[in-house]
Amino acid sequence: MGVCLSKLDAHQHFWRYSPVDHAWMTEAMGALKHDFLPPQLQPLLRVADFDGCVAVQASQTLDETRWLLELAEEYAFIRGVVGWVDLRSDAVDEELAEFAGNPKLVGVRHVVQDEPDDRFLMGAEFRRGIGRLADVGLAYDLLLYPKHLPVAVELVREFPEQRFVLDHIAKPRIADEVLSPWDDDLKRLAEFPNVACKLSGMVTEAKWSGWRREDFDPYLEQALEAFGASRLMIGSDWPVCTLAADYAVAMGIVADFVGRLSVPERDGILGGNCARVYGIEEIL
């Protein structure tokens, strides 16, 4: 009898809204400025026939990481947490030690896209912190704009033993139908076998009103060509996606796209690759 793999949403968020902790929410994002909690997501997962999710940090505090791990303990469908620690801190070893024994912590992330220094990833303190992650078995999520991809290539080249996951296919300019130089830079990053990529966050890079399904095809095709099916994973970016599409529609864009692939390739993108890359044990 074959093993039935879980279907996993590799990227979503929970928060209790705070104007301080969530200052990245612009006025146009007013619909996000309230609480989004597990009981709101659970029925959406069920209707979409997904078994679980990975909760990703939305504010850069240790308290949020602790809170997400508490939620994961309470709600079994939260299969993993990508939290935040201060990778630039002299206390990074102590911060990692606090969390690294928790099997639900599968990775960490920094909001690099908001850093004023486009070469933030190559800062000495940050790279020192990245160098600590492999020893504690954690992936690092790359939250980038296209302009950061060449710098990400430098970082990944330096840490061949570190698992990296590119969030939101690096946020290409879908609304403007721009592919270059994002497409070439994505290929360069994908040349490193320790990098996976989330097919997520696309609807909010398109025109929030009036986008069409075919708007995403060139970007999905490029990601598939660059990474291959074995290093791609589906993610909703809920609740941020609700600015442009509801949960089922956002997930359906990727689910429909991968429908033409073989069953093993499709199963990988819809959950198996997420479990493997993040080290999430299957619940059978």
| DSSP string of 259-275, one letter each residue | GGS-HHHHHIIIIIHHH
More confident residue, 282 or 143: 143
- Contacts of 210-213 with C-beta under 8 Å, sequence gap 24+, read 211/174, 211/175, 211/244, 211/245, 213/253, 213/256
Segment 194-222, tens digit of pLDDT = 999 999 999 999 999 989 999 999 999 99
**Cis peptide, bond prior to residue 239, ω within 30 of zero:** yes
Segment 173-195, tens digit of pLDDT = 999 999 999 999 999 999 999 99
In the three-class reduction of DSSP (H, G, I as helix; E, B as strand; rest coil), residue 7 is classed as: coil
List domains and CATH numbers for the chain. Answer: 8-278 (3.20.20.140)
In the three-class reduction of DSSP (H, G, I as helix; E, B as strand; rest coil), residue 109 is classed as: strand
For helices 62-74 and 92-100, the axis angle rounded to 10 degrees is 10
Q: What percentage of the chain carries pLDDT values higher than 90? A: 94
